[in-house]
Amino acid sequence: MADVDKKCVRQRFLDFLARKSLRLTGPRRAIIEAVFNTGKHFTADELLKWARRRDKSVSRATVYRTLPLLTESGLVSELDFGKDHKIYDPNYAEHPHHNHIICQDCGKIVEFESQKIEHLEDEISRQLGFSPRAHRLQITATCEEFRKLGACSKKED
């Protein structure tokens, strides 16, 4: 995400907090900076680690209280890929119509957008008497590198 886009998204979240009469504390600022300075999907534990690099006082509780605010604001999406933890997508704000392919072996997540899929969703929705507001497509697969080599250099850590 470009610096201008990051600032815009960050400001949208700050405006969201203000509308809810919530203060911007130092720990919450560190969390926000960590979220909007990555293009990577992340877990709550990863966010805690990143935020603590910015502000050592960030607590696990503050991370867990801030994540629902980020998702409620519509700027971060919470994803459930069938693991024992949720994954958060900071790319949702600027690319709300993207989809995911997840390697079931190595855990790699790849995002993609498709005009064909969007067109098909619109067509099906109209045929059934609906107007689409959001969508989510998730494909579980095996990546070629893992299949060939038994390991993947792009594995999510």
Q: Other CB atoms closer than 10 Å to residue 29's CB: what's the count?
A: 16
Do 40 and 19 lie in one domain? The reply is yes
Do 73 and 118 lie in one domain? The reply is no
- Domain range for 139 is 99-149
Do 77 and 145 lie in one domain? The reply is no
Q: What is the CA radius of gyration of the chain?
A: 17
* DSSP state, residue 88: E
Question: Structurally, how many domains does the chain consist of?
Answer: 2
**155 lies in some domain:** no
Do 60 and 130 lie in one domain? The reply is no
Cβ–Cβ under 8 Å, residues 79 and 88: yes
Q: pLDDT band for position 70 (50/70/90)? A: very high
Q: pLDDT band for position 155 (50/70/90)? A: low
**156 lies in some domain:** no
Q: pLDDT band for position 132 (50/70/90)? A: confident
Helix (H) or strand (E) holding 141: strand 138-141
Work out the burial of residue 51: count CB atoms within 10 Å of its CB; fewer than 13 is exposed, 13-18 middle, 19 or more buried: buried
Work out the burial of residue 71: count CB atoms within 10 Å of its CB; fewer than 13 is exposed, 13-18 middle, 19 or more buried: middle
Closest CA to 70 of 116, 31, 25: 31
Do 75 and 128 lie in one domain? The reply is no
Domain boundary among 37, 64, 89: 89
Do 72 and 114 lie in one domain? The reply is no
Do 44 and 81 lie in one domain? The reply is yes
Do 9 and 84 lie in one domain? The reply is yes
> What's the pTM?
0.72
The CA distance from 26 to 42, in Å, is 21
**pLDDT 10s digits, 9-63:** 788 889 999 999 999 999 999 999 999 888 888 999 999 999 999 999 999 999 9
**pLDDT 10s digits, 71-95:** 999 888 888 777 777 889 887 656 6
Do 79 and 20 lie in one domain? The reply is yes
**pLDDT 10s digits, 7-17:** 787 888 899 99
